[in-house]
Amino acid sequence: MTAKYRLLALDMDGTLLNDEQQITPKTVEWIQKAVDAGVHVCLSTGRAFRSAMPYAEQLGLKTPMITVNGSELWREPFELYRRSLMDPALIQQLYEIAEEYGIWFWAYSTEQVYNRNNWDGDIMGREWLKFGYSTEDDEIRHKLLMQLMDLGGLEITNSTPTNLEINPLGVNKAYGIGEVCKLLGIEMSQVVAVGDSLNDLAAIQAAGLGVAMGNAQETVQQEADAVVASNNEDGIAEVIEKYILSEAEVTLGTDC
C-alpha cells in the first residue's frame, strides 16, 4: 500500500521557485498533497542553509535538507548531519584564479557567503564549503573550466549557464540524496529528483526518476527521464500530479 516514489528532491532556484523567487500557491498546494500522501519532500539546493530554510518553513517541511550542493546535509531543520569541507589552501588557489581573470567570485564558509565586495582575506581562519565564479564571457569561462579541470579533485558544476560552482570531488546533490535515502530507509530507485542546471545533473541521472524543468539547460533536459513545464508554469505541480500521486493511485489500486 505504498507509492512507488517515496522521496521528492527539489532544486530551488529555477525549479521550486519562479523567477520572482517565490513558490506559487499551486505548487504549495501540490507539495502539501504529496506530503499528505506520505511522500518525503526534500530541498536539494546550492544555497546555504539560512537562505533555504525560510522556504522549508513556508512549506512546513521537517524532512532532511541538502544545502550547498551537498556540502551540508541536515537530518532535519537546524540539525546538521554531515558537512564536507574544502581545503583552505585550495580556496586560496581558487581566489587567486578569480583575481587573475578579474571576474566575480563568491565563497561559502560555514558562517556566511563572501564575495569580491566583502572579501577580507581571512582564508585559513574559516571553514569552507563551496567556491563559485561568474562571467558572461564565454571564452574566459571556458579557459577557467579547463584550468579547474587540470587542478583535479574538484566537483565542477553550475547553477546558471554563466557560472561555475566548485565543491569537493564526489560531493554533489546525488551524494546528498543518497545520504538522505539512508536516513529515511529508502532506495535511490524510489526518488524523484527535479532540477534545471548542471548542479542537478548527477541527481537526475542517479534517481529513480530524473525530471528536468522546461527552463532547464539543454544537457539536463537530454539526460532527464522526463521534462515538465517551466518554473514559471508550476512545473513542480506537474511532477507531483503526473508522476508521483498518479503512481501512488496505481500502486494502491494494484495492492488492493
> Beta strands 191-195 and 209-212: pairing type?
parallel
Structural element, H or E, at residue 156: strand 154-157
Q: Which triple of cell numbers denotes residue 6?
A: 517515496
Residue 52 is predicted with a pLDDT of 97
Please tell me which residue in 11, 13, 200, 234 is annotated as part of the active site.
11
3-state secondary structure of 202: helix
Q: Which triple of cell numbers denotes residue 249?
A: 493511485
Residue 252 is predicted with a pLDDT of 43
Q: How far is CA 76 from the centre of its chain?
A: 16
Residue 77 is predicted with a pLDDT of 87
Cβ proximity of 159 and 13 under 8 Å: yes
Residue 3 is predicted with a pLDDT of 66
Residue 246 is predicted with a pLDDT of 83
Residue 96 is predicted with a pLDDT of 98
Q: Which triple of cell numbers denotes residue 17?
A: 521557485
CA distance 169 to 164: 14
CA distance 126 to 111: 8
Could you report the average pLDDT of every consecutive run of 10 residues in the chain (256 residues)?
82 98 98 97 98 97 97 95 97 98 98 97 97 98 97 96 97 98 97 98 98 98 98 98 78 41
All domains of the chain in start order, with CATH? 7-83+172-255 (3.40.50.1000), 88-168 (3.30.1240.10)
pTM of the model: 0.94
Closest among 80, 84, 44 to 169, alpha carbons compared: 84
CA distance 234 to 222: 21
Instruction: Tell me if residue 138 is catalytic.
Output: no
